[in-house]
Amino acid sequence: MRLRVLIALAALFASASALAVAAPTTSLDITAKSVDFFSNRYVVTADGDVRVRLSDGTLVTGQTFTMDLKLNRFLVAGDVRLDGPAVHAAGAAFAGYPDLDRSYFLPAPADPAATPERWTYYGLDWSNAHAGREQPGDAFHFPDLTGERPYIYAVGARITPKTNVLFTFPRVYTAGVYLPLPRYVVTFSANSHFYENGFQGARSDVALPFNGSEHSLTALHLRNDAFSGTYTAIDQHFVWNNDWIVASIDPLTQVQRQYNVIGFKTFSPKVQGRLFLQESAGSAGIINPPIINAAAFTEIQLNAGLRRSGLSYTQDNYFQQLLGFRTPPDELMSTAFYDPRWREHPMNAALTWTGFQNSLSKNSPISFRLRSGFGWAHDAYGEGGYVNEQPGPKSLIYHFAGGLLSTNAIKLGKGPAPYSLTAQYDRQRQWYSLPHHVDTGDGRVSLSRELFRQHVSYYVAYEVRTVGDYWGDRQLAAYPTPTDTIVTPFGTYGGQSAFRGFATSHGLSASVVYTPTQYVGVNLLLSRFYDTPGPIPGAYGQPPVQLVGDLRVRLSKQVLVDLTRSYYFNFANERWTPQFGIQFLP
């Protein structure tokens, strides 16, 4: 009996080990006289004394190597030797197809009288050559790189299929020159989470990814923004199929730093969670404790898919003045303004249910979507803060219900270029424990048309948005008559005295898109807003008339120039926006 169990276990281990070897390689370590990367084609080539070590230790040597990173296939050709614990063979070429879990080999018979064969290996199982098995017609083809210039020259590379390439001692093409670096990682993963970071927006960002593996990426950034100037930042990614974490310090080399962590977890196909932690701290040097000040912000999001609906929980926490304020003598902060409530931590939490989009009836172009929820907010200063509630309660409970009614695009007329009509209306009421309630409404209707022959499409849209804060008998106490005229550095603006807590915005927009060729596109959007109360520059409101122009020109296969500029018709002495928005995109 024991013998049978032993045999069964042995068989189990044997099958397990057979399964283990019948798997594609998880990495390729390449050394050669020259290793090049062609970024336009996602192709890595290597020439001269090429040595490719597969993840099981098998060594493939040859004259030349090429790998299409996107197609996930590689080729070693010319005087090829295949050496491993279970294989020693010489041949003309070796092609690896990890996605098919196959390797194709052209052995070179030592005897000139012998007939050449084609061998196929399964995964990393080198014990069976499967001679005479059908192979892909282009298994041994080289990619055509005519006219392509390498983006990177290196002497070695470690390729993690479907994820990244780590180049050792590369020279990277930057601003017209090849810049020598100790390491450089090119990530080509289909997983977008390798590219999400916790940085703030910047005018420019040059990344230097210098370390990476199947599940990680480390990058140094050189950034520039209006507030901090030019500075460095660093981020570290850990990425799995459905989960990821990114930690960053931005800026790294300035006194005022932000430490960010974003974590995303898929607990099940129907439950996801996201955590964002941010600490802002000021300290001289990188490793010194913060001495100037520190504050933090956290956000927790949990989403769950229900039957034809979704549930989401969101919680924001604010941690102001983490260090508190020192008693005198403190040359950095005057204690005259000290308020113990600075140590308090405002918080807001909300649970929201959102239904799926449902049609009013079968074949109806009208659909609706409902939502509701409740929440709790807390701030030591008092929530609300209206004139009639001084100070407001420290904690506030609210609940809300709303819905969206919308149409599909409804064709009007017949022919090759009919008009298309869409309409929608969103309405919500939110009740507060204060007590008062806020009603919001947003209605929009648009008429559009596409003239395919003229390469033109255009639409006009009319939108009405309303916000009303209802206090009942206490309306005028909450909203006493404000000053009618407000003087700002941009001028004097009147018409404010009518505000009683109800605001309305009417907007009329017209847009035209002209794409005469596949290389050029022009987009113009003209908007006119009528807001009550009227807009006050620097305080609230939007320019009454806005024109946004967008010109896109494709200069080459890889370079698209996007020029954007806005005109505000002298609102707040603003005509053209201060600068062009220019983007070079692939």
Partner 1 sequence: MTRRIAAFFAAAVLLALALPSLAQGTLVRVTGQLLDVRNGFVYFTSGDAFKLAAAPRIADYDTGKPTTLQPRAKLFARAIIDPATKQVVELDLTTRHLADDAGYASVAQQYAQTKPTTEPAPEIVGQRISGKEVPVTFTVTVPPTTPLNSDVYISTDASNWNPQAIKMNRIDGQRYRAIRRFASGTKFFFRVTRGSWNSVERDQSGLEPAPHEFFVREVDSQGRDVTVYSWSDDRANSPQQAAPGAIPTPFNPNPFPPGGIFPPSRATPPGGFPTPRPPAQPNRPPR
Restricted to residues 171-210, the positions that interact with partner 1 (CB under 8 A) are 187-190, 192, 194-197, 200-201
Q: Which stretch binds partner 1 (CB under 8 A): 14-22, 175-183, 213-221, 264-272?
A: 264-272
Minimum CB–partner distance for residue 204 and partner 1 (Å): 14
- Would residue 113 be called left, alpha or beta, if left means φ above 0 and alpha means ψ between -120 and 50 degrees? alpha
Would you say 393 and 376 are in contact if contact means Cβ atoms under 8 Å apart?
Answer: no
Tokens read off for 199: 């940085």
Q: Using the rule CB under 8 A, is 133 a contact of partner 1?
A: yes
Q: Using the rule CB under 8 A, is 315 a contact of partner 1?
A: no
The number of beta carbons lying within 10 Å of the beta carbon of residue 584 is 10
Interface with partner 1 in residues 551-580 (CB under 8 A): 552, 562
Residues 6+ apart with CB under 8 A from 114: none
Q: Which stretch binds partner 1 (CB under 8 A): 26-34, 168-176, 229-237, 289-297?
A: 289-297
Q: E-assigned strands of 144-225?
A: 152-160, 164-168, 171-174, 177-180, 183-187, 204-213, 216-225
The residue among 57 and 116 lying less far from partner 1, judged by its C-beta, is 116
End-to-end CA distance of the chain: 67
Q: Look up residue 228 and give its DSSP letter.
A: T
Quote the CA–CA distance of 398 and 389 in Å, as a whole number.
17
Q: Using the rule CB under 8 A, is 263 a contact of partner 1?
A: no
Contact pick of 7, 9, 539, 561 for partner 1 (by CB under 8 A): 539
- Which helix or strand (DSSP H or E) is residue 18 part of? helix 2-21
Contact pick of 24, 96, 150, 537 for partner 1 (by CB under 8 A): 537
Contact pick of 445, 464, 545, 551 for partner 1 (by CB under 8 A): 445
CA-to-CA dists, residue 468 to 196, 219, 426, angstroms: 38, 48, 14
The residue among 57 and 581 lying less far from partner 1, judged by its C-beta, is 581
The residue among 85 and 471 lying less far from partner 1, judged by its C-beta, is 471
Contact pick of 29, 68, 83, 117 for partner 1 (by CB under 8 A): 117
Which among 129, 49, 55 has a CA at the least distance from the CA of 86? 129
Interface with partner 1 in residues 17-76 (CB under 8 A): 62-64, 70
Minimum CB–partner distance for residue 524 and partner 1 (Å): 11
Q: Using the rule CB under 8 A, is 361 a contact of partner 1?
A: no
Tokens read off for 349: 């939490």
Q: Using the rule CB under 8 A, is 252 a contact of partner 1?
A: no
The residue among 57 and 480 lying less far from partner 1, judged by its C-beta, is 480
Contact pick of 155, 536, 547, 553 for partner 1 (by CB under 8 A): 536
Minimum CB–partner distance for residue 411 and partner 1 (Å): 11
Q: Using the rule CB under 8 A, is 359 a contact of partner 1?
A: no
Quote the CA–CA distance of 468 and 505 in Å, as a whole number.
12
Size of the site for partner 1 (CB under 8 A): 179
Quote the CA–CA distance of 119 and 472 in Å, as a whole number.
85
Q: Using the rule CB under 8 A, is 320 a contact of partner 1?
A: yes
Q: Which stretch binds partner 1 (CB under 8 A): 10-18, 153-161, 165-173, 443-451?
A: 443-451
Quote the CA–CA distance of 515 and 253 in Å, as a whole number.
45
Q: Which stretch binds partner 1 (CB under 8 A): 8-16, 176-184, 218-226, 369-377?
A: 369-377
Q: Using the rule CB under 8 A, is 586 a contact of partner 1?
A: yes
Backbone angles phi, psi at 262, to 5 degrees: -120, 130
The most distant pair of C-alpha atoms in the chain lies apart, rounded to whole Å, by 106
Interface with partner 1 in residues 454-513 (CB under 8 A): 457, 459, 461, 463, 465, 467, 469, 478-479, 482-483, 486, 496, 499, 501, 503, 505, 507, 509, 511, 513
Q: Using the rule CB under 8 A, is 440 a contact of partner 1?
A: yes
Peptide bond into 535 cis (omega under 30): no
Q: Using the rule CB under 8 A, is 316 a contact of partner 1?
A: yes
Quote the CA–CA distance of 471 and 453 in Å, as a whole number.
56
Quote the CA–CA distance of 54 and 356 in Å, as a whole number.
49
The residue among 57 and 78 lying less far from partner 1, judged by its C-beta, is 78
